[in-house]
A and B are shown apart, each in its own frame.
Chain A
């Protein structure tokens, strides 16, 4: 099986730990469910990601160098 997460065009997906998650939720003043979603079956997700986890996606950006996005893992 091809592990797409190793492909150079697939941005880094990492699971946030609870402290980081709290910071993110506080920064944007939101509930976890207000985040954009990502399917558990998404091949870019790390293996340890579970439903309810929040994933940090870091992309390269032409304009800002690095663009960070958070996503909630759903079924």
Chain B
């Protein structure tokens, strides 16, 4: 290391910077807008002055003497010809202008008010609330004052024209004052006498001759005279005048604000004097922050910031030249505004109302604030998230032969991702073998590190030689091998199960392979989804991943406290086929079903066929996967009662409610009553058994599976015709004006509702008729019944009728004037004119039906698109708000400033994953109560442990330890 001792940050304080500080830290004053001379050397006191740091390798920094890479660069400064406003503070400047006196610069609050706001500030600080609320209130109060309570000067309103112009709004004598006075002297009503100039003179005490002069416009009345006339005639002689405040005026104004007044406004005058918000010096960022690039043709291309600084210096020089030459005020003001514009866009080039500064090509310049803001900005793009090493991304594909804890890693990925191996006496041979295999062979090694910290690349050429040199104390960066732990992730990472640890299985080809049962937690499918893998780089990370993050440890979702991993789709169809009618299998078949599981011996046969051959039932084959001692009773999705006694499946259908992801009863119970390892084995074996089963029976779906016999079709047609007739009847009743409206509805709404209802019923009865004609072994029916995929509604739409299409929850009503399509008459209320699709998907849709169907379908697509972006933003805000909350060791949830958010995590201190979710079970944590009572009984922990004895839980950290694990438990 370069001799930098690690330091820790004690505190940070934010404030404004004193212009003197800019000058002090500046390496050089920058006076010329030129960058390089004709020979390509940076010009002294130019924007690329070598004192501002070095970017070209080989050159030496003129300030610190270091070379590029170790010199961080140094700030320079530009002396601005005239002060300009810092855009970032335009709001605070406005507030201070409004809250302080224009004459004496003091805060226009009296002592009582000041004390009140000082107290409120202290209280808010203590409560950790937003100080802005108080300071805003103080300004609001001060702004109400028409006169300064300290010097009595009149206060004017301040107008802020964004971004950086301020005006004082003054009431001055209108240029039309003679006309206004004359008009006011006219009588209000017909018979009233007009006010004569003499009367006016009497009333106001102004000399009569002077009144004449005023009336003729020869003399402008003074302030007191104006007020007297206004009072006498009840007239307003003023008009608004906007008086522009130049930055220099504002700076003078702010310089006089006393320190104690600033404290009332929550400003620490030691750190931030308000006049520092008006810039007189501009810091020039070091060249390292705005490096120039040399193009292929040898031309230099400068950074956007440098371009902006060139503009600023040019205008600055022109301003000075013009002022010295005594140019007219108008030109000076124009140049001043131009300087303000350039300094403003130097800091932020995306201010509304200001045209962005552009590059010659028309591209807006990326200036300071654009570097920081947004997703690709410094904070979100470079600090909170950045590209990482030891990571891989590729397409995923399914592999049912893997365990759910495993991931198939392509060999070319395994050869790139490495794990560090510390060579010892005991693994020396192994380490040498890796090195000998070289970087191309798998499992090989890519690098070795000698004890003197020299890193050597292993190449095809040197690997044999290098392998012999490897000694204890070396480090070998070996390839990933089977059994290594890696982290696997699919975006959007919306919950913690989106990032889980898997054990590596190195495989050929180019995709990551995963067992289909982990699709639900990742929300993955195989239509081109890609996933990321991260190889862990230290033992601590690997241990944590293995113990806490492995898929089996994440089996229970904290969202609803039940399993999120389990059988899906074909697995469920298969267990349904295996158990619903409880079919029988001969020995060969039974062994074939169980061949991929760990069961290698069949139980006693369930009976004998007539010819004496033994048979086994589907349920007893399934029972082979269940742990001993499991007792369960629940209702399945197929709506029968499932009974499991002592690990034997006695009755009922095994389907989604039994083994499915999202709360399959058996999986959930095994995970909670046994342990995660047992549940993992169970799910894996259900998966393999299911796939063998579905291959045994064969399972496919074709268009004829949704066909219904002609007599059924007739019934369906009749049902729809009936509905049409009833709709017609409704419309007639409506048109006769006899339709009675439902409570709280208009007649029109009532008609719509009744039509929708009638048509809804028509579709349902069409569905029911169709359903009656399907066999129980119809694959679509099996899938809907078992919960594997699809519903009876899908079946209805395929075989019966698609039904009413809706946009915004109503029948389709849009399109042409008073009709949906030009194929209908205007104001046709009938079913087909408003998007009722009477055909089924199997029959096919009419063109008009197809069009209405597309309208309804479009709404669905738009909805999902809008929902995902909305919920994504909501999620981001929620995470930002909650990210710093943390459960402490005392059980409380606190934020980083130790403010308590919850006195007990979740108000009950329990993890949803550990609480049994079935309602009939006790929610009270009996073990915890026992623990507490035991704690009171025994003096200390050792005594208690002596009494209790310790139960050793088998450790299971890898797929490769399963045999040992199963032997350990006696299941």
Binding site for B on A (CB under 8 A): 28, 30, 33-37, 59, 61-65, 67-70, 74
Q: How far is the CA of A74 from the CA of B126 in the complex (A)?
A: 12
In this assembly, does B898 line the interface, its C-beta being within 8 Å of a C-beta of chain A?
A: yes
Q: Which residues of A contact B894 (CB under 8 A)?
A: 34
Q: Which of A28, A30, A37, A63 contacts B908 (CB 8 A)?
A: A63
Chain A residue nearest to B126 in the complex (CB): A33
A57 to chain B, nearest CB (A): 10
Interfacial chain B residues near A62, Cβ < 8 Å: 908, 923
Residue contact A61 to B903, C-beta cutoff 8 Å:
no
A to B contact number (C-beta, < 8 Å)? 48
Which one of A28, A59, A65, A74 lies within 8 Å of B127 (CB-CB)?
A74
A61-B908, A69-B902 given; 19 more Cβ-contact pairs under 8 Å: A30-B898, A33-B126, A34-B894, A34-B897, A34-B898, A34-B899, A35-B899, A36-B901, A37-B127, A61-B907, A62-B923, A63-B908, A63-B910, A64-B908, A64-B909, A67-B904, A67-B908, A68-B903, A69-B903
Q: Is B743 at the interface (CB under 8 A from chain A)?
A: no
Asked if residues A33 and B908 are in contact (CB atoms below 8 Å), the reply is no
A-B contact pairs, 22 of them (CB 8 A): A28-B903, A30-B898, A30-B900, A33-B126, A34-B898, A34-B899, A35-B899, A35-B900, A61-B907, A62-B908, A62-B923, A63-B908, A63-B910, A63-B915, A63-B924, A64-B907, A64-B910, A67-B903, A67-B904, A67-B907, A67-B908, A74-B127
CB distance from A25 to the nearest CB of B (A): 11
Cβ A59 vs Cβ B907 within 8 A: yes
Chain B 10-44, CB-CB to A under 8 Å as 1, else 0, gives: 00000000000000000000000000000000000
- Using A37-B127, A69-B907 as known contacts, say yes or no to A63 and B901 having CB atoms under 8 A apart: no
B904 & A28 in contact (Cβ 8 Å cutoff): no
Is B892 engaged at the interface, CB distance under 8 Å to the other chain?
yes
Residue of B nearest to A61 (CB): B908
CB distance from B951 to the nearest CB of A (A): 26
Contact A65 B924, beta carbon cutoff 8 Å: yes
Give the residue of A65, A70, A74 whose beta carbon is less than 8 angstroms from that of B903. Answer: A70
Q: What residues of A have a CB within 8 angstroms of the CB of B924 in the complex?
A: 63, 65
Instruction: Say yes or no: is B528 at the interface (Cβ < 8 Å to chain A).
Output: no
Residues of B within 8 A of A37 (CB): 127
Please report B residues at the A interface, Cβ cutoff 8 Å. 126-128, 890, 892, 894, 897-904, 907-910, 915, 923-925
Please give, as numbers and ranges, the residues of chain A lying within 8 Å of B892 by CB-CB distance: 28
B128 touches A33 (CB 8 A): yes
Of B128, B901, B902, B908, most buried by chain A (CB within 10 Å of CB) is B908
* Cα distance, A28 to B924, chains bound together (Å): 25
B823 to chain A, nearest CB (A): 57
Query: Which residues of B sit under 8 angstroms from A74, Cβ to Cβ?
Result: 127
Contacting pair A64 B127 (CB below 8 A): no
* Chain B hits for A64, CB < 8 A: 904, 907-910
Distance in Å: Cβ of A24 to nearest Cβ of chain B: 9
Q: Which residues of A contact B902 (CB under 8 A)?
A: 69
Instruction: Report the minimal beta-carbon distance from B903 to chain A, rounded to whole angstroms.
Output: 5
A33 to B126, CA, bound (A): 6
Q: Which residues of A contact B900 (CB under 8 A)?
A: 28, 30, 34-36
Across the A-B interface, the 8 shortest Cβ-Cβ residue pairs: A63-B908, A64-B908, A67-B907, A34-B899, A33-B126, A63-B923, A33-B127, A69-B903
In angstroms, Cα B899 to Cα A63, docked, is 25
Q: How far is the CB of B926 from chain A (nearest CB, A)?
A: 12
Find chain B residues with CB under 8 A from A70 CB: 903
Which chain A positions have C-beta within 8 A of B901? 36
Chain A proximity of B925: nearest CB distance (Å):
8
* Chain A residue at smallest Cβ distance from B904: A67
Which residues of chain B are within 8 angstroms of A61 by Cβ–Cβ distance? 907-908
- In the complex, A64→B892 CA distance in Å? 15
Q: Which one of B892, B899, B909 has the highest number of Cβ atoms from chain A below 10 Å of its Cβ?
A: B899
Residue of A nearest to B894 (CB): A34
Tell me how far the C-beta of B76 lies from the nearest C-beta in chain A, rounded to whole angstroms.
45
Give Cα distance in the complex from A34 to B900, angstroms: 6
Q: In the complex, A24→B7 CA distance in Å?
A: 36
Nearest B residue to A63, CB-CB: B908
Q: How far is the CB of B818 from chain A (nearest CB, A)?
A: 52
Assembled-state Cα–Cα distance A35/B126 (Å):
11
Residue of A nearest to B890 (CB): A28
Instruction: Give Cα distance in the complex from A59 to B128, angstroms.
Output: 27
Residue of B nearest to A65 (CB): B924
Bound state CA distance, A9 and B437, in angstroms? 72
Output the least CB separation between A42 and chain B (Å): 16
User: How many angstroms from the CA of A63 to the CA of B909 in the assembled complex?
Assistant: 9
The CA-CA distance from A74 to B133 in the complex, in Å, is 15
A61 and B925 alpha carbons, distance in the complex (Å): 13
A69→B903 CA distance, assembly (Å): 6
Docked CA distance A63–B901 (Å): 19
Quote the shortest CB–CB distance from A75 to chain B (angstroms): 9
Chain A nearest CB, measured from B123 CB (Å): 9
Closest to B928 in A: A64
Q: How far is the CA of A50 from the CA of B641 in the complex (A)?
A: 59
Question: Closest CB-CB distance, B134 to chain A, in whole Å?
Answer: 12
Q: Residues of B contacting A68 with CB < 8 Å?
A: 903
B428 to chain A, nearest CB (A): 52
A36 to B126, CA, bound (A): 13
Identify the interface centre among B903, B909, B924, B925: most chain A CB within 10 Å of its CB.
B903
Report Cα–Cα, A61/B908, bound state, in Å. Answer: 8
**Which chain A positions have C-beta within 8 A of B126?**
33
- A28 neighbours in B (Cβ, 8 Å): 890, 892, 900, 903
Assembled-state Cα–Cα distance A36/B904 (Å): 13
Report Cα–Cα, A39/B661, bound state, in Å: 45
Once bound together, how far apart are the Cα atoms of A28 and B923, in whole Å?
27
**Which residues of the other chain, A, contact B923 by a CB distance below 8 angstroms?**
62-63
The interface residues of chain B lying within 8 Å CB-to-CB of A63 are 908, 910, 915, 923-925
For residue B410, give the distance in angstroms from its CB to the closest CB of chain A: 46
The CA-CA distance from A35 to B901 in the complex, in Å, is 8
Which of B894, B900, B915 has the most C-beta atoms of chain A within 10 angstroms of its own C-beta?
A: B900
- Chain B residue contacts of A65, Cβ below 8 A: 924
Minimal Cβ-Cβ distance residue in B for A59: B907
Residues of chain B contacted by A67 (CB below 8 angstroms): 903-904, 907-908
Question: Please, how many angstroms separate the alpha-carbon atoms of A27 and B127 in the complex?
Answer: 20
Cβ–Cβ < 8 Å partners of A34 in chain B = 894, 897-900
